[in-house]
């Protein structure tokens, strides 16, 4: 694979780029070769806004690629959390500033983000939906044994019907 195809910023050497993380004429890229510079730009944007989606758009990377990086890279995940905390502190500061200066501010969005963050910090679900549940080994064993018993009963019933059907 050549250098152009794998560059995280999507730019071509000596050519024009469609923006950071994009190929000319295309949207955000899903596969990303993360660099310190790209991570830094993303984390700076998160620190300034508290908004993961906007930060991904700002660097031209798909949201799924950003979340994949978060799941698979512990150092990035830790830096993400620090940047997100800083972003929410920024939002809180802007809300206070707005109350003092009457500057234009998107209150609904800010309150939604703060509510989600508060739920996350309390151990709740940060995004919509139920929290993921993982079954214990005993629970999975019990389910498997019940299903095996059902299969055995079904086979026994078929044998009994076949036996009575043959004798008639």
pLDDT at 60 over 80: yes
Please tell me the distance from the alpha carbon of residue 145 to that of residue 147, in angstroms, as a whole number: 5
pLDDT at 40: 92
N- to C-terminal Cα separation, the chain: 71
- β-partners of residue 28 are 22
Tell me which residue has tokens 């939906």: 129
pLDDT at 145: 94
pLDDT at 150 over 80: yes
More confident site: 142 or 2:
142
Percent of the chain with pLDDT over 70: 71
Question: Tokens standing for 139?
Answer: 């629970």
Question: Tokens standing for 146?
Answer: 């019940």
pLDDT at 136 over 50: yes
Mind listing the pLDDT tens digit for each residue in 24-59? 445 555 577 888 999 999 999 999 988 999 999 999
pLDDT at 97: 76
Q: Once rounded to an integer, what is the mean pLDDT over residues 83-96?
A: 85
pLDDT at 164: 83
pLDDT at 146: 94
Q: Once rounded to an integer, what is the mean pLDDT over residues 92-108?
A: 73
Please tell me the distance from the alpha carbon of residue 49 to that of residue 46, in angstroms, as a whole number: 5
pLDDT at 30: 59
pLDDT at 4 over 90: no
Q: Once rounded to an integer, what is the mean pLDDT over residues 69-94?
A: 89
Please tell me the distance from the alpha carbon of residue 38 to that of residue 18, in angstroms, as a whole number: 16
């Amino acid at each position: 694979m050549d250098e152009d195809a794998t560059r995280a910023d999507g730019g071509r050497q000596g050519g024009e780029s469609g923006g950071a993380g994009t190929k000319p004429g295309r949207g955000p890229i899903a596969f990303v070769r993360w660099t310190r510079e790209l991570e830094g730009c993303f984390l700076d944007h998160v620190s300034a806004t508290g908004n993961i989606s906007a930060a991904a758009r700002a660097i031209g990377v798909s949201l799924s690629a950003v979340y994949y990086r978060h799941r698979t890279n512990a150092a990035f995940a830790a830096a993400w959390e620090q940047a997100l905390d800083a972003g929410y502190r920024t939002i809180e500061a802007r809300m206070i500033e707005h109350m003092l200066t009457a500057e234009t501010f998107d209150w609904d969005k800010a309150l939604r983000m703060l509510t989600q963050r508060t739920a996350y910090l309390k151990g709740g679900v940060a995004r919509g939906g139920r929290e993921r549940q993982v079954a214990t080994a005993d629970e999975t064993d019990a389910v498997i044994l019940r299903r095996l018993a059902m299969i055995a009963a079904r086979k026994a019933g078929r044998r009994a019907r076949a036996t009575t059907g043959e004798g008639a």
